Structure 1
Amino acid sequence: MLKKLPKENMGGSNLGWLRSRFHFSFAEYYNPQNMNFGVLRVINDDLIEPNSGFNTHPHSNMEIISYVIDGEITHKDSMGNEETLKRGEVQYLSAGDGIYHSEHNLHNSKILRLLQIWILPPKNGLPKLYGSHKFKEEERKNNLLNIVSSTNGEAKVKIHQDINMYVSELDKNKELEYDIKTNRQIYFVLIEGKANINDIILDYGDALEITEEKSIKIEALENSHFLFIEMAS
């Protein structure tokens, strides 16, 4: 089953320094019929103006992944971590029983675009984790790159929850296929471009819920950049 989610139907927010598209209920966008997809609780497509960002704030019992699309993000947290990441690079935070962090765009002129993704942990009170990986463009170019997995998986970034997250930058007319195991489902986000997924056309910003399917075939109708999360159904 395929359910297209056009970006025009998603929630939104404009705070001046921050413009967001909410895939699920978040902040002032509340929709009790759209709280999550499996263990996926949040995907926010954020645009953060230069010299601004999220000041220090707490999180607990959530696994948070940031995927940078354009610009650069600078992270600081209460565990002493501090670093700056750019396009295609990933940071993750498993907040455990509580952590404070900040996320800023310190660039003087360039807007930062990123996907902020929240995954529900398998249980509360798990150990805190923080890490990042600076993936190279050639790793995802016309290839499915597994950027996040569970601690039992093989991705460079590992969290507690049983998920796999993949990204790709697919040239026009190129195709990729992915087999879906029994009792698994996918949330698919087209970040840039235009693509055909199992005969459903997505434009940039659109999403797709994929359930009870055996495989997906992805064809880039334009140069396309996408991310999807595979999880238990």
Structure 2
Amino acid sequence: MLKKLDKNDMGKSNLGWLESRFHFSFAEYRNPNNINFGVLRVLNDDIVHPKSGFDTHPHANMEIISYIIEGEITHKDSMGNSETLKRGEVQYLSAGEGIYHSEHNLHESKDLRLLQIWIIPPRKGLPRLYGSKKFKKEQRENKFLNIVSSQDGDATIKIYQDINIYVSELDESKSLDFEIQNQRQVYFVQIEGNSSINGIELKNGDAMEITKENKITIEAITNSYFLFIEMKEA
């Protein structure tokens, strides 16, 4: 089953310094029929304007992945970590019993765009994790790059929950097939460009819930940049 989610129907927010598109209920966007997709609780497509950002705030018992699309993000946290990441690079955080952190766009003139992904952990109180990975564009060009997996998975970045996150930049007219194992499901996000997923077109910013499918064929209608999260069925 393929359920297309038009970006125009998603929750939206504009705080001046921050513009967000909410795939699920978050902040002022409240929709009791749209809380999560399996263990995926939050997916925000955020634009942070120059010289602004998220000041120091707490998190607990959530696994948080930030995927940088454009610009630069500067991270600081109560574990002593501090770094700046750019396009295609990934930051991850398992908050465990609790952590404080801040995320800022310190650039003078360029916007920061990122996907903020929150995954429900398998249980509360797990040890805290923090890390990042500076992937190269050629690692995702016309192929799948597995950027996040479970502790038992193959990705460089490992979190506690049983998920896999893949990204790809696919040239126009090229296609990729992805096999979906039994009792697994996929949440697909079209980051840039247009794709056809088993014949259904997604445009920049759209998403798709994929359930009860054995395989998806992703064809780039234009140059296409996408991310998807593979997980157990709810």
Common topology (TM > 0.5) = yes
Partners in 1 of 2:225 and 2:157 — Cα distance?
20
Match of 2:101 in 1: 101
Matches within 5 A, 1:1-150: 1-150=1-150
| Matched residues, number | 233
Match of 2:158 in 1: 158
Which letter does structure 1 place at the counterpart of 2:219?
E
Which letter does structure 2 place at the counterpart of 1:61?
N
Identity of aligned residues (%): 72
The two structures have a TM-score, normalised by structure 2, of 0.99
Per-residue CA distance 1:115-167 (angstroms, 9 max, x = gap): 00000000000000000000000000101000000011010111000000000
Matched, 1:167 2:185: no
Partners in 1 of 2:180 and 2:61 — Cα distance?
28
Match of 1:215 in 2: 215
Displacement of 1:106: 0.4
Which letter does structure 2 place at the counterpart of 1:156?
T
Q: Secondary structure at the match of 2:26?
A: coil
Which letter does structure 1 place at the counterpart of 2:231?
M
Displacement of 1:7: 0.2
Displacement of 1:194: 0.4
Per-residue CA distance 1:28-55 (angstroms, 9 max, x = gap): 0000000000000000000000000000
Partners in 1 of 2:85 and 2:154 — Cα distance?
22
The two structures have a TM-score, normalised by structure 1, of 1.00
Which letter does structure 2 place at the counterpart of 1:203?
K
Per-residue CA distance 1:54-104 (angstroms, 9 max, x = gap): 000000000000000000000000000000000000000000010000000
Give the 4+ runs in structure 1 shifted more than 4 A: none
Which letter does structure 1 place at the counterpart of 2:119?
I
Per-residue CA distance 1:149-187 (angstroms, 9 max, x = gap): 001101011100000000000000010000000000000
Partners in 2 of 1:100 and 1:225 — Cα distance?
32
Q: Secondary structure at the match of 1:124?
A: coil
What are structure 1's unaligned runs of at least 5 residues? none
What are structure 2's unaligned runs of at least 5 residues? none
Partners in 2 of 1:30 and 1:203 — Cα distance?
24
Match of 1:178 in 2: 178
Partners in 2 of 1:10 and 1:82 — Cα distance?
32
Partners in 2 of 1:218 and 1:97 — Cα distance?
39
Which letter does structure 2 place at the counterpart of 1:118?
W
Partners in 2 of 1:114 and 1:132 — Cα distance?
14
Partners in 1 of 2:133 and 2:143 — Cα distance?
18
Which letter does structure 2 place at the counterpart of 1:175?
S
Which letter does structure 2 place at the counterpart of 1:52?
S
